[in-house]
Structure 1
Amino acid sequence: MQMNTPSRSARSMRNRIRLTRRGRIALIASGAVVAGTAVAVPLLTPGDDEGEPRPTSLVIREGWRATQIYDAVDKTLELPPGTTRNSLAKANLKLPNDAEGNPEGYLFPGTYPLGERPTPEKLLAAMVDNANRKFHGAPIAAGAQRNALNVYQAVTIASIVQAEAATKGDMGKVARVIYNRLARGMPLQMDSTINYALGRSAPKAAAKDTGIDSPYNSYQRMGLPPTPIDNPGEAAMRAAISPAPGDWLYFVTVKPGDTRFTADQDEHERNVAEADRNRRSASPREGAKT
């Protein structure tokens, strides 16, 4: 993690909502964005006369980005690449005004039956309708209001939590780091937002990446990114509205199963140095396996 200096500039709550960048080690939660092309995980049933199995359901993983979901729908329905993305204009999705037509964050993870005549529009609408039921009912809507957020901002925080937390048990702490940084006027400095801007799933951003010109650059821009950066699941949403109590401002995964949270910058820098040593020592062994 880089050094973080609090800013005194006053911002609206939406612009102030930015969190601490995750550490230098991959914090990949179960269901976080995975490397490579997204793959639909269908449930199969006997198919046509030739015995070809056909999918009956599409499984959307927690933390998938919209682009991964579009690819999964195209593959499951055997459509040309780009068909689902191009169907957005006619899908008539019931998105919040803040989304400005972008469904990122509202394609709720889950298992979706294909039905008799599945189309991209029907599947996307089912995901968004599911998200609206989850997000705009109690306790999510009330929890967002309790934290002086609107629902869209809470979903945006949840998407960062989903991408950054190494485990579900860490989600509440990651959310608290976000709130603490926002309250202090600090940039979030999250690698996950930069990786989203660059369209990649690598967990660690290089130093040169922190200078990119993007509204998703949470090293240079204050507050939350303009949209969610993935489609979070229920655990991440619960963490976003009910963060764990604590004064943490920094966190880094030193090694698998050991993510350290602290409010002390010097301690955090020592943790980062240890994480870097562990990563370097592990690299030769990883290379030998491949």
Structure 2
Amino acid sequence: MHLQFRNLAVMTILLATTVIACTKNNASEDDKSSDLFSELTVQSKDQVDVSGEVDAVTNDANLAVENYSAISGGKFLGVLGTICDATVTVDSASNPRKVTITYNGTNCIGNRKRTGTVILTMPATKRWKEPGTVITVTYQNLKVTRVADNKSITLNGTHVLTNVSGGLLLGLPARTSITHTITSNDMSITFDDGTQRTWQVARQRVYTYNNGIVVTITGTHTEGSKTGIAEWGTTRGGQPFTTSITQPLVIRQDCLFRLTAGQVQHEQHGTTATTTFGLNADGVATGCPGSGTYYCKLEWKGLNNNVRSVVVAY
């Protein structure tokens, strides 16, 4: 009888020890999940900010180039529009031809402040409307500050903007579509905490017309079996990452050239998270909010298969 009680006591101790160990392991896994989710959330926000500013500059570049027939090769139609927070100067006599966009103000919808310079160069023998024409886009200390929280990023480096199909956006809607690509191997990003990283970019933009210009964006880079990669490099936390566009990103002129829909997938630490755009504050798909706030939703399955999500403004 004493032996039975002794065995029971030993079993009780072992069971208690096992429960405590499991509890500690679960807590450890939860801590790891929380840390990973925090890192993924930061990277998701960074990717939204960086890609959004690249898209904004690309829109400005198209506007600046197509306003000048000596650069575009199109008919002179006067000013198509203005860049709210910048001045544009053109040197159409030099080789290469040069367009300089100098930013110093608040963008059209008032949610960003930009300072710095973007220089567009193109061989003097080419015109932008010709298929395959390449413009080199050089970012020089382009600092973009979000008005809502005063957070900023600063961009440097060069992008190659290629008019794959030829044609001008002026030709829409008569023309079915126009295709451009954006590539970069040296985009330097300085985040608001002083961290500096280099990203690479490979994006395709297809322009169509539906109550205004519609831009559909996909990723064009492939690594192994992974396709649709649009950005890759190192996070501000020092981890390698890739961002793939899994559902085309859509920018619409009739929504103030804002990102209205699409989905991207982030991979880092051997794990994957998904960000969906064009949502309201409840994380539900919504129509254009005008100059109001759009939201995106980041979703990730944690180490214990717990689904974590956060909805943030962009």
Structure 1 length as normaliser, TM-score? 0.27
Compare CA radii of gyration and give the structure with the larger one. Answer: 2
Higher helix share: 1
TM, length-normalised to structure 2: 0.26
| Structure of higher RCO (CA pairs closer than 8 Å, 6+ residues apart) | 1
